[in-house]
Chains A and B, each alone.
Chain A
Amino acid sequence: MKVLVVDDSMVMRKVLVGALSRAQITDVDQAGDGVEAVKAVGKTQYDLILMDWNMPNMLGIDAIKAIRAAGHSMPIIMVTTEAEKARVIDALKAGATNYVIKPFEPSTIVSKIQEVVAKSKGEG
């Protein structure tokens, strides 16, 4: 399983890479904004993306729209401080598969990753 972690915070990327490691996922690439994420998805086949919302250059939601418009169907978990219902709805409409609100318990993000991965494998 190959995963792309997208967040402008290097520290948050490390936190998420650690969570992926606890879910036995170690093949992980990182991107610092939406533009880098879209470029990475154009070059590499990912099985899962963890996507922040507020980032410079391109917001996470716009990156999701671009990735879906390019025909990619891998699960995308939005991991963000944006907790309003309107934001969640916008993200799901844009193509996010699931949504995790910061701050989160380490166990929450791990179980969410495992849940999305299991569902993805079941569908595949």
Chain B
Amino acid sequence: MQVEYINPFIESVYELFSTMLGAKVQRNKLGLSSGPSNPRDIMALIGLSGVACGTVALSFPASTALNVVNKLLGTENRVMDDTVSDAIAEVVNIVAGSAKARINDGDGPVIDLSLPTIVRGNSFSVDYPSKSKWLEVSFESELGPFSMRVTFQMEKPKGDKA
């Protein structure tokens, strides 16, 4: 997996924050990881299939997740409830959807998205197949810190036996 593959996802995070969330966001260092993800309070995962096949995961501490929901809805929610799960699911859906159009310049074969999955709690561990490599990037934002993990492969062109 090439490091630059994560760039469309980072650009999508920036676009989401500048439009719907109206908050500044800055990425930290980018790394390649094969180990389990750091546990956070809420994680949203979504699958990509088609010419690009893989998974995108966004992880938030509760404080950031609550700030995202409150910014979207103009509320002052302080409880990690179904509304927070719903909002974080929509966030990963938007990031992945926006990124997939950037991957193929909006003009190539369509990449399909699965429906998002949410994991809530602070004592879970997410393990991945032993050979999978994940690109991980953490972010600092006006709404708090969060991180993103991405793994996917591009379909080999037809006739490419490599």
Contact = CB atoms under 8 A, between A and B. Distances in A.
Interface of A: 8-12, 14-15, 18, 54, 56, 80-87, 101-106
Given A11-B69, A54-B113, A105-B19, A81 B106 contact: no
Given A11-B72, A15-B72, A83 B98 contact: yes
B30 interface: no
B32 interface: no
A10 B83 contact: yes
Interface of B: 15-16, 19-20, 69, 72-74, 82-83, 86-87, 89-90, 93-94, 96-98, 100-101, 104, 106-111, 113, 115
20 contacts: A9-B89, A10-B82, A11-B69, A11-B83, A11-B90, A14-B73, A18-B74, A54-B115, A81-B98, A83-B98, A83-B100, A84-B101, A84-B111, A86-B107, A86-B110, A102-B97, A103-B15, A103-B16, A103-B19, A104-B20
Given A54-B93, A104-B19, A85 B107 contact: yes
B94 A102 contact: yes
Closest 10 CB pairs of A and B: A81-B97, A83-B101, A11-B87, A9-B90, A103-B19, A103-B20, A103-B16, A11-B86, A102-B94, A105-B19
Counting chain A CB atoms within 10 Å of each CB, the highest count among B74, B96, B110 belongs to B110
B65 to A, nearest CB: 12
A7 to B, nearest CB: 9
Contacts of A85: 106-107
B96 A81 contact: yes
A102 B73 contact: no
A81 B15 contact: no
A84 B73 CA distance: 28
B70 to A, nearest CB: 11
Counting chain B CB atoms within 10 Å of each CB, the highest count among A9, A15, A84, A87 belongs to A84
